[in-house]
Amino acid sequence: MPSRPLRVAQAGNEAALPREFAGHEFVAPALLAQALTHRSAGSPHNERLEFLGDALVNQFVAEALYLHWPKADEGALTRARAELVRESALAGLARELRLGERLVLGPGEMKTGGHRRDSILADALEALVAAIHLDAGFETCRSVVLPWFEPLIAALPSPNKVGKDAKTRLQEWLQARGKALPVYAVLEEGGEDHARIFRVGCTLAEPSLASEGEGGSRRAAEQAAAGAMLELLDPP
């Protein structure tokens, strides 16, 4: 039996609330408002929605991977799902949707750049998924949410490589061919204290290649640089 939208009692004047986000027009805009409200801004906030959205995201991604890789074993599917639903991946999707610009935060979180923090963005994305589900039902929610993940699924490495970070995969590629390991160096560091940005270079002696990557930490920037190097060595 197809799922039916859950209608919830709403208080206040809904006419003044925004109704559209991420391609979905809300019948109950108060759900959208709640999904975008961090607990620091008071109640109703998005933590309960986040709980439900987490389960929905895991189900959508699991089903998509099952269909995408018909011959992959359970271990590969589990590792791939973990890659796609981890905090940094969800935060990246939230940034693509410009979710941070719509968040309602308390004064303290505003001052410390909460609208850019991975944990807050990832939680809000899950809350948004739950809000769409409660507003329009399971099938509509899936049709809205799955396209967000399709580019990430398409970019996954082969099932036997998934779950290994870019630096590990680059090291294994070089070692298998008897080549020297890469050298990483910080090229630039900037940004405010609560939102640092690192630019790191990755250099190979043989073959003679160089790549760069950026991230919110040196480690993240090194991973980005290693990923860029892998694309040079073994383009899709």
Report the C-alpha gap between 216 and 191 in whole angstroms: 9
Spell out the domain ranges in the chain.
14-154, 166-233
Half-sphere exposure of 198 (CA within 13 A, CB side): 18
Which of 155, 125, 157 lies closest to 60 in space, CA to CA?
Answer: 125
Question: Mean pLDDT for the chain?
Answer: 88
More confident site: 192 or 227: 227
- Top CATH class of 166-233 equals alpha beta
Task: Quote the pLDDT of residue 162.
Answer: 80
Task: Quote the pLDDT of residue 18.
Answer: 78
Task: Quote the pLDDT of residue 51.
Answer: 98
Instruction: Establish whether 126 is a catalytic residue.
Output: yes
The pLDDT confidence band at residue 8, using thresholds 50, 70 and 90, is: very low
Mean pLDDT of 148-171: 86
Name the catalytic one among 83, 109, 126, 135. Answer: 126
Task: Quote the pLDDT of residue 4.
Answer: 42
* Contact between 93 and 125 (Cβ < 8 Å): yes
Percent of the chain with pLDDT over 90: 64
**pLDDT per residue as tens digits for the range 16-71:** 567 888 889 999 999 999 999 999 999 999 999 999 999 999 999 999 999 999 99
Question: In the predicted model, is pLDDT for residue 78 greater than 60?
Answer: yes
Question: In the predicted model, is pLDDT for residue 105 greater than 50?
Answer: yes
More confident site: 12 or 27: 27
Report the C-alpha gap between 121 and 184 in whole angstroms: 29
Task: Quote the pLDDT of residue 19.
Answer: 87
Task: Quote the pLDDT of residue 5.
Answer: 43
The pLDDT confidence band at residue 125, using thresholds 50, 70 and 90, is: very high
Task: Quote the pLDDT of residue 88.
Answer: 86
Task: Quote the pLDDT of residue 197.
Answer: 87
Q: Which CATH number fits domain 14-154: 1.10.1520.10, 3.65.10.10, 3.40.109.10, 1.10.3720.10?
A: 1.10.1520.10
Question: In the predicted model, is pLDDT for residue 207 greater than 50?
Answer: yes
Task: Quote the pLDDT of residue 22.
Answer: 85
Lowest mean pLDDT among 9-18, 175-184, 217-226: 9-18
Instruction: Establish whether 54 is a catalytic residue.
Output: yes
Using a cut of 0.85, tell me whether the model's pTM lies above it.
no
Name the catalytic one among 50, 54, 135, 222. Answer: 54
Which of 114, 112, 61, 64 lies closest to 86 in space, CA to CA?
Answer: 61
